[in-house]
């Protein structure tokens, strides 16, 4: 007997095997199915919900997929041989209940069990996003998720510029931009999407041009309009996360109210002189109940108390910090990573170079987001400047 055959016989004696039909039933009951085939094989189809970890990285990455060594793990390859070796590797790592799927994916398919063809990254995408792919927290799965995600940016100004740059560079597949203004020369000290020669032209068109040059493979949708009660839901429809970089109260309240009504996370940022703040308003976060913007500020201040747009100066770099933090929160939400700023307000003081954090509780009497509250309707406030310059 050849050494390989002998080794295989030993493994078969040691590693329990299950048929694909049995494997599918075990997955229903909570077992993890790990597909260890090569990416080009997986690209042809793989069981839905399986963890796709190429054999060479199995021992390094299994913990991210299956953290509990007591959980049943079913290993699958194409024909049921490689999976025996892979199963042995997992047993050595301390996984107690590891089984190999006899006949592998070929038999899975022949038995008529469900198959999905995962969106695979092409060579160009692999190169572009290689530094994401190297991180197990993102990897192929996370990058595909980003490429399939849809984010709406309110404002292509000071906050929208860095947020849009980084979200486009990260490969967010569809980026919408809402802005109705034209570029003014006084914007260029902070609105880095735009250029001097484009002064007087549409911000949205300028932003689309800049972002297209940075990443031609993503979809950019311009909404050259003022956000109002009559159009807000139509514009928001189809997006998963809204990033607020608006520069006036009317828009900020409208964004909040629509996000509350539609259940969307609202990544909020604002800036004033040398200070800025970031939070995620998402009362319907699946795990943590945080406030909405109206829990904090039930109604806008009277216009005479808000500084005029021309008075509200800001350090040009400041929105770069705050808009970038908004982009990070957005990526975290899309990938389900880390601890989002839900129920927390992060404050940044550039002069003292200091971040501080405030815990925010939802207002149980909030007319907009209190559990069971009937939506009170949108309000088109008169547009006046907030305490900040977008």
The residues near 113 (Cβ < 8 Å, ≥ 6 apart) are: 20, 21, 24, 47
Among 241, 295, 312, 322, binds Zn ion (CB under 5 A): 295
Among 252, 268, 294, 388, binds Zn ion (CB under 5 A): 294
Of the candidates 116, 113, 92, 93, the residue with the CA atom closest to the CA atom of residue 18: 113
Residue 296 binds Zn ion, judged by CB under 5 A: no
**90: exposed, middle or buried (C-beta count within 10 Å: 0-12, 13-18, 19+)?**
buried
Residues 222-261 that bind Zn ion (CB under 5 A): none
Residue 369 binds Zn ion, judged by CB under 5 A: yes
Residue 211 binds Zn ion, judged by CB under 5 A: no
Residue 75 binds Zn ion, judged by CB under 5 A: no
Among 77, 267, 292, 321, binds Zn ion (CB under 5 A): 292
By beta carbon distance, the residue nearest Zn ion is 366
Contact stretch for Zn ion (CB under 5 A) within 23-31, 97-105, 162-170, 289-297: 289-297
With respect to Zn ion, which residue has the nearer C-beta, 37 or 294? 294
- Would you say 163 and 327 are in contact if contact means Cβ atoms under 8 Å apart? yes
The residues near 102 (Cβ < 8 Å, ≥ 6 apart) are: 17, 18, 19, 20, 80
- Would you say 388 and 314 are in contact if contact means Cβ atoms under 8 Å apart? yes
**380: exposed, middle or buried (C-beta count within 10 Å: 0-12, 13-18, 19+)?**
middle
Report in angstroms the alpha-carbon separations of 296 from 279, 291, 361. 12, 8, 9
Residue 342 binds Zn ion, judged by CB under 5 A: no
Minimum distance of Zn ion from residue 265's CB (angstroms): 14
Whole-angstrom distance, CA of residue 49 vs CA of residue 302: 53
Minimum distance of Zn ion from residue 218's CB (angstroms): 33
Contact stretch for Zn ion (CB under 5 A) within 54-62, 169-177, 305-313, 369-377: 369-377
With respect to Zn ion, which residue has the nearer C-beta, 218 or 232? 232
SS3 call for 369: coil
Minimum distance of Zn ion from residue 67's CB (angstroms): 35
Residue 145 binds Zn ion, judged by CB under 5 A: no
Residue 366 binds Zn ion, judged by CB under 5 A: yes
Minimum distance of Zn ion from residue 277's CB (angstroms): 17
State the residues that interact with Zn ion by CB under 5 A. 292, 294-295, 366, 368-369
């Amino acid at each position: 007997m050849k050494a390989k055959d002998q080794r295989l016989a030993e493994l078969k004696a040691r590693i329990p095997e299950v048929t694909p039909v049995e494997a599918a039933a075990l997955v229903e009951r909570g077992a993890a199915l790990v597909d260890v085939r090569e990416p080009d094989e997986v690209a042809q189809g793989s069981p839905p919900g399986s963890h796709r970890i190429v054999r060479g990285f199995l021992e390094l990455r299994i913990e991210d997929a299956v953290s509990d060594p007591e959980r049943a793990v079913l290993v699958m390859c194409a024909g049921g041989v490689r999976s025996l070796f892979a199963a042995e590797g997992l047993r050595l790592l301390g996984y107690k209940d590891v089984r190999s799927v006899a006949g592998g994916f070929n038999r899975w398919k022949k038995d008529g069990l469900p198959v999905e063809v995962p969106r695979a990254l092409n060579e160009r995408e692999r190169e572009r996003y290689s530094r994401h792919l190297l991180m197990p927290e993102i990897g192929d799965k996370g990058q595909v998720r980003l490429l399939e995600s849809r984010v709406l940016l309110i404002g292509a100004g000071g906050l929208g510029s860095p947020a849009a740059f980084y979200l486009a560079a990260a490969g967010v597949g569809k980026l919408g931009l809402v802005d109705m203004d034209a570029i003014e020369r006084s914007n260029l000290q902070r609105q880095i999407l735009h250029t001097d020669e484009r002064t007087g032209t549409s911000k949205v068109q300028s932003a689309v041009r800049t972002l297209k040059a940075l990443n031609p493979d993503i979809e950019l949708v311009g909404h050259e309009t003022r956000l109002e009660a009559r159009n807000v839901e139509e514009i928001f429809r189809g997006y998963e996360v809204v990033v607020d970089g608006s520069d006036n109260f009317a828009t900020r309240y409208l964004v909040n109210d629509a996000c509350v009504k539609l259940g969307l996370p609202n990544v909020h940022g604002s800036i004033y002189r040398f200070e800025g703040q970031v939070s995620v308003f998402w009362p319907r976060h699946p795990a943590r109940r945080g406030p909405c913007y109206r829990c904090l500020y039930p109604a806008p201040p009277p216009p005479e108390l808000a500084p005029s747009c021309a008075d509200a100066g800001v350090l040009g770099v400041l929105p770069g910090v705050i808009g970038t933090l908004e982009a990070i929160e957005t990526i975290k939400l899309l990938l389900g990573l880390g601890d989002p700023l839900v129920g927390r307000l992060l404050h940044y003081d550039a002069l003292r170079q200091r971040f501080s954090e405030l815990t925010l509780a939802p207002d149980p009497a909030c007319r907009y987001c209190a559990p069971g509250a009937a939506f009170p309707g949108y309000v088109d406030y008169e547009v006046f400047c907030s305490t900040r310059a977008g």
